[in-house]
Each structure stands twice: as C-alpha cells, then as structure tokens.
Structure 1
Amino acid sequence: MPETVTREDSAGVATLTMLRPGLSSASRRELLGLVQDVAADESVRAVLLTGTGRAFCVGQDLNESRVRREAAAEPAEDPDQPLPVLVEEYNPLVLALSGLRVPLVVGLNGACAGAGLGLALTGDLRVAAAGAKITTAFAGVALSSDSGVASRLVHCVGGARAAELLLLPEPFLSETALQWGLVHRVVPPERVLAEAWALAARLAAGPTVAYRAIKTVLATAATDSLEETLALEARLQTRAGQAADHREAVEAFLAKRPPVFTGH
C-alpha cells in the first residue's frame, strides 16, 4: 500500500489522494507511479487529484530539503547544473499530469503553495474550497519557481499579475483565484471532494476522444499561430468525426435521447 498517496477507482474515475501536505521524495515518486499507472489504464476516463485535511499540497517538504542539503558533502562543481531532484522527480511528475490523455480535475481541499500550486495548475478543471489560501511561496524561501508555475501563471493570469504573484508571494484566497481564472469553482470545504468527483464522473461519461482532442488543442493554442491551430483542429476533428462517440452523439440527437458514450 502507498504510504503517501492512494488511488481509488469508481465509474471510470481514478481518484488520487495525497495524504500529506508536504511533497517528500517518497510522495513525489509514489504520485508519479500512480499517474503513470492511470495513464496506461484504458478503463480510466477521468482523473481526480486531491489532498486531505486542511491542505491540498504546500510544496516541497522543507525538513527533507534541509536534511538533503546538510548531507551533501560538497557544493556542486557546476552551479548551473540542474538539481537532480527537479530533473528526476518534479519535472516528470508535472509532465505526466499535464500529459494525461483524459480530463484531470483537481480538488483543492485546502492550502496550496509552491510546487503544490504547480500540481494544481496541471488540472483541466479546478474546484477549490472556499477560504483556501494559495501562494506561490518560492521567493519567500529565496528560490525561483519550479513545477511549471511561472508558465501556467502567465497563461492563466497574464505576465503582469504572474510577476506580482511570484515576486511578492502573498497569500490570496480561492475566491480571488476564481476571479482571476486560476480555479473554476469555489464551494464549501466539506463539498470539495463531492463536487470535484461529480465533475470528474461527468467527464468520464462523456466523449473521451473529443476531450483528448480538446486537450491537445488547448496545450498549444496560446503559442501556435492561427494557421497552425486551424491545421491542428482540422486533423483532430477529422479523427474525432470517425469515432464511435461522434456517431452515437448524432444518432442520440436525432432520436432526442441522451447519448451513451463508450470512449471510442
């Protein structure tokens, strides 16, 4: 059994729950393994990532970080050489979550900071607890950003606000995050898991092939030219139009009945 992360499957939704607020090496590796497992599981049609208690994820376990730093015999010979922990653990985890071919819903049950914000922003849809505190945190411990936070913030809130949030890492509430577009829904804390799971279940019952195409377009739409986006849309819609889910959607519409999607 995992010590820091659990997986529970129901109705096509794989729920991954982080049991500790801080990201230790063990939790990063366990979460990455579970994300890779659900990515390879064809029965999974949506993923829900959440935490427990009063925190979703507050980023790096600073106690573990201090121990690792003190255990280092000598400083790195090349200060420009990336830290192995970033290259081998953080980056693969963010890429694995971002690269899921099925929709990812994040249930922000509580506080979210640093790399935890990076994990949250990999979600396609985010449901947050009312009053939850969010912060970039990095500059507060004299670090630059990691886990894709800078890139995601620029895309979500624009360069000016991203700079403010990173340079002046003051906490803000989920209600403000909703106004800025960083989260999609804010609900009472006791309703976060139920609301996020219901959203994931709705997506799991939907047209998976179309969702996959939409995720692909959204991943590059902000940086591609209009011509490139149009060409990509044409290819992806052609594929989606040949899928069983599209035929079912058309037949259901004409028959005036709810569609039943199979994910193919």
Structure 2
Amino acid sequence: MSSILFSVESNTAFLTLNRPDKLNSFNREMALLLQEKLDECENDNSIRCIYLTGAGKGFCAGQDLAEVVDPNGPGMQKILGEHYNPIVTRLRTIAKPVVVAVNGVAAGAGANIAFAGDVVVAAQSASFMQAFSKIGLIPDSGGTYHLPRLIGAQRASALMMLGDKVPATDALQMGMLYKVFSDDTFADESKKIAATLSQMPTKALGYIKQALNHSAGNSLQAQLQLEDEYQQKAAGTKDFKEGVQAFLEKRSPIFKGE
C-alpha cells in the first residue's frame, strides 16, 4: 500500500498521508512521495485545488522517530533539507489553493505542515501539538515562521516551549484554523470547500497566495506595488473577462482557471 494515496476528481487532487498504523508519521519514502505528488499537482493544469488529509485516526504525528535513531537512516540534516523544508516550500509556492483537512492529531512537523496550507480546517476531535521540546528539539517545518504569524508571538512561544496539546476548538479561537466541523460532517464539509475553490479563478487565487507570502516582510509601499503587479496579471486572465461578463449579464461565471 502506498504511503501517499492520490486521486483526482472534478479538478481537485486528493492527497492522503497513508501510514495510519503510525498516525501517518513521516519517513523518507512518504516525504519524497508527497513532494513528487505535489509536483504532479503543480504541473497538471486540470488540477485547480489540492486537498491534503490523513488516513485513519490521525492527520500526522510528525517524524517517525525510529528513522531518526536508525544509524543507517537519513539523519536530521537530510530529514529537514530533503523532506520537510521542500514540502513546506511546495505548499506555499504552488500557485493553486491547498486545503488541509486535519482529521485527527497533528503533532510536530505534522502540525506545522498543516499550517502551511491556504485553508486549514479540522474535525472537532482533532488536536495540535508543538511536541518538539518534549524530546529536546526546536519546532521545524516552518513552525517558527507560520505559527507566530497566525496566533501571535506570545502564544506561539508558550505552545512551543510547553508543548501543550491544543484541541481543535481552541485552535480555532486562537486563529490557527479557518473552521472546525463535527466529526460526522467533517469529510463532506471540508471537501465542499475544495470543490468550491476548484471552480474559482485559479490564477487569481495563485496571485493572492503569492501576495500573502510577501506581505509579512514588505513595507506598505512595497506591498502596494506588489498588489499592482499581480492585479495587472489577474486583469489579463480569461477568467477575469468571464467574471466581468457574467456580472454584466447577471449570471453565474464559468471559470476555467485560465
């Protein structure tokens, strides 16, 4: 059985972390395969949204520690440089919306990979944990970048140092997530979000993502200039023309991601 399940339906790519007996903790095989599948999603123009979730009871428990202590394993430098950093970079730079559907526990790198998504939702029974300090490590996988921007420096610092388990409802209140759904409705509701995004003007969504990637480090004037550049690109798309025409004709637009 593949460690990454992959399918495409109605312009949405469904990626499932599939090591349920290990709470979908990452080993080298799964990390490299996820990168490969994300590259496929980026290069396939028929895919207009990516939906990432986990199999079984957990989303992702982070790194498989058995691989870390294996003397023949890849070692920490490769695990970060060849596994997690490329995954997080892909999630943030791929010019398509990424919905992360956190179905269960998201710990360590699993939590921080989730925070790299564009729309992050969780089941009510899900939880998040910066588990690194429990074993004498620091947060990686972009955690020290994304989490303070989501919830503020004080809360991020406390959660990273104490390693508290944060229930999904608390994570929502803090600003880590977009929405929390009941366990019974989670799969359907999260897939509805992906279905909506897959029919929207894909290029414009990609420009939004790129603009947001720059906003934290830009001055106001630099960001205004960047908005101008991306707006000109968006205005040159076929979907913009369709959106305006549909508005004038008082009908629903039919976007094609072009």
Q: Counterparts of 1:48 and 1:145 in 2: how far apart (Å)?
A: 24
Calculate the TM-score normalised by the size of structure 1. Answer: 0.92
- How far 1:14 moved relative to its partner? 0.2
Aligned equivalent of 1:67: 70
Q: Counterparts of 2:164 and 2:208 in 1: how far apart (Å)?
A: 34
SS of the residue 2:8 aligns to: strand
Q: Counterparts of 1:3 and 1:34 in 2: how far apart (Å)?
A: 12
Q: Does 1:14 align with 2:13?
A: yes
Q: Check conservation: 1:113, 1:135, Cα contact below 8 A.
A: yes
Alignment of 1:1-150 (within 5 A): 3-20=2-19, 21-68=24-71, 71=72, 83-150=77-144
Instruction: Give the gaps of 5 or more residues in structure 1.
Output: 77-81
SS of the residue 2:184 aligns to: helix
CA RMSD of aligned residues (A): 1.4
Q: Does 1:246 align with 2:240?
A: yes
Calculate the TM-score normalised by the size of structure 2. Answer: 0.95
Single out whichever of 101-110 and 28-37 deviates more from structure 2.
28-37
**How many positions carry a matched residue from both structures?**
253
Aligned equivalent of 1:79: none
Q: Counterparts of 2:25 and 2:184 in 1: how far apart (Å)?
A: 21
- The one-character-per-residue Cα deviations of 1:47-93 (angstroms, maximum 9, x if unpaired) are 0000011100010001222224xx48xxx9xxxxx712211221111
- How far 1:254 moved relative to its partner? 1.0
Determine which structure has more spread, i.e. the larger CA radius of gyration: 1
Q: Counterparts of 1:22 and 1:121 in 2: how far apart (Å)?
A: 16
SS of the residue 1:101 aligns to: coil
Q: Counterparts of 2:141 and 2:7 in 1: how far apart (Å)?
A: 25
SS of the residue 2:185 aligns to: helix
Question: Any runs of at least 4 consecutive aligned residues in structure 1 with deviations exceeding 2 A, and if so which?
Answer: 190-193
- The one-character-per-residue Cα deviations of 1:222-249 (angstroms, maximum 9, x if unpaired) are 2100000100110111111121111111
- The one-character-per-residue Cα deviations of 1:130-189 (angstroms, maximum 9, x if unpaired) are 021210100011101110011101110111111001001010100001001111110112
Q: Counterparts of 1:61 and 1:147 in 2: how far apart (Å)?
A: 14
Q: Counterparts of 1:213 and 1:97 in 2: how far apart (Å)?
A: 14
Single out whichever of 163-172 and 84-93 deviates more from structure 2.
84-93
Aligned equivalent of 1:226: 220
